[in-house]
Amino acid sequence: MGYRVVVVGATGNVGREMLNILAERQFPVDELAALASRRSLGTEVSFGDKTLTTQDLATFDFTGWDMALFAVGSAATKDFAPKAAAAGCVVIDNSSLYRYDPDIPLIVPECNPQAIHGYAKKNIIANPNCSTAQMVVALKPLHDRAKIKRVVVSTYQSVSGAGKDGMDELWDQTKAVYNPTSERPPKTFQKQIAFNVIPHIDTFMEDGSTKEEWKMVAETKKIVDTAIKVTATCVRVPVFVGHSEAVNIEFEEFLDEDEARDILRESPGIMVIDKREPGGYVTPVECVGDFATFISRVRQDSTIENGLNLWCVSDNLRKGAALNAVQIAELLGREVLKKG
C-alpha cells in the first residue's frame, strides 16, 4: 500500500524535478495529482512512464491525500498550504514562507531527521533554501566531530535559482552578445547576467545584507546549531544549473584536513572528489542531474586557529529543492505514516 501524493506547481522547474525524482527513487505512490495555476491548467507533465494532466489548484480537494509537495511561491503557499494541512494532508513546502516558524520543522534529512516529529503541530514541514541545503549537509558531520564556531561562505549561484525566466534571460543575453542588433536588457536580474556576476540575490535588508544571505544564516542555525556564527555573501553567476560555495569553517578544536575528508566521505549525501591536480575537483556542469553534494578543495586555513576551507557544489534543483523535498517525504513515510 502506497501514498496518495500531490505535487503543487507541477509545471515549474522544481515541480517537474519533484515528479522526476519521485519516479527515479521509486517512491511508493498509489495515486499522484499534479496541480497548477489556472493559466497552466491542462498542461501535460511526465511522471515516470506516465503522462499526467494538471488539475486546478484553486478547486482541488486535499481530503484523503497523504502528502503534498509544494513548489510554488510564498503567496500561493499562504493561500493553499493551510487548506491542505487542515484537510489532513501533510505539506512539504519549498517556499520560504514557513522556514522560520518555530512550530514548523525545517529539515535536511541528513542533518536533523529527528525534527520530523514536529510536523504535527501544523501539519507542515519546511524545505530550506537551496544554498543552505547543500552547505549544511557538509557542515553537520564536521560539527558533530569538532564543533563549528563560525562559517564564512561565498556562493556562486546559478540562474535556475530564479526559475525559468532566469534561465531564459541568461540564454537570450548570451546570444545577444554575439548579435549586437538583438539587445536584451535585464528583467529578471538587476544587471546583465551574461558574462557577468551579480552580488545581489533577493531584496536588501537594513544592515546591508540581502535576504538570501540572511536565509543562510537563520536556516543554518535552525538546522545545525543556534550557536554557530554565519556570514554569507551570495552572488548570481552565469551558470544554468548548479550552485557552488566557497566555505571557510572555524572549529572549537583542531580538525585535520585528512580526517575531515574521511568524515565527509563516510557521510550520507556527500561525494568527495578532491585531487590536488588540474581537474581534480567538481564544477557545476558536472553535478547537474546528480543527487550528491560534491566536496572538493579541502584544506587547512592557517590564518585562523582550527580552520578549514572547502568547495561545495550541488544541483540546486535537486538537493537544493526537489530532492530534499522527496527525501523529507521518504522520512515522513518511514518514521511517521508508515504506509509504503
Show which residues are catalytic: 130, 243
Is 26 assigned to a binding site?
Answer: no
Count of CA atoms in the C-beta half-sphere (13 A) of 291: 14
Is 190 assigned to a binding site?
Answer: no
Is 233 assigned to a binding site?
Answer: no
Task: Report DSSP letters for 270-299, one per residue.
Answer: EEE---SSTT-S--HHHHTT-SSEEEEEEE
Q: Strands across the sheet with 29-36, in order?
A: 55-56, 29-36, 3-8, 67-70, 90-93, 124-126
Q: What are phi and psi of 201, to 5 degrees?
A: -130, 125
- Measured N-to-C along each axis, helices 13-24 and 323-332 cross at an angle, to the nearest 10 degrees, of 50
Alpha-carbon distance 111 to 267, whole Å? 10
Alpha-carbon distance 2 to 113, whole Å? 21
Q: Which amino acid is at 173?
A: Q
Is 265 assigned to a binding site?
Answer: no
- Residue 256's alpha-carbon distances to 179, 301, 311, 317, in angstroms, are 51, 10, 16, 32
Is 236 assigned to a binding site?
Answer: yes
Is 51 assigned to a binding site?
Answer: no
Residue whose grid cell is 518514521: 335
- Name every residue whose Cβ is closer than 8 Å to that of residue 26 and which is 6 or more positions away in sequence: none
Is 99 assigned to a binding site?
Answer: yes
Q: Which amino acid is at 313?
A: V
Is 88 assigned to a binding site?
Answer: no
Task: Tell me the β-bridge partners of 101.
Answer: none
Is 25 assigned to a binding site?
Answer: no
Is 54 assigned to a binding site?
Answer: no
Alpha-carbon distance 126 to 332, whole Å? 12
Is 48 assigned to a binding site?
Answer: no
- Residue 51 CA to its chain's centroid (Å): 26
Is 112 assigned to a binding site?
Answer: no
Residue positions in the annotated binding site for phosphate?
99
Residue positions in the annotated binding site for NADP(+)?
11-14, 39-40, 160-161, 316
Residue positions in the annotated binding site?
11-14, 39-40, 99, 157, 160-161, 236, 316
Residue positions in the annotated binding site for substrate?
157, 236
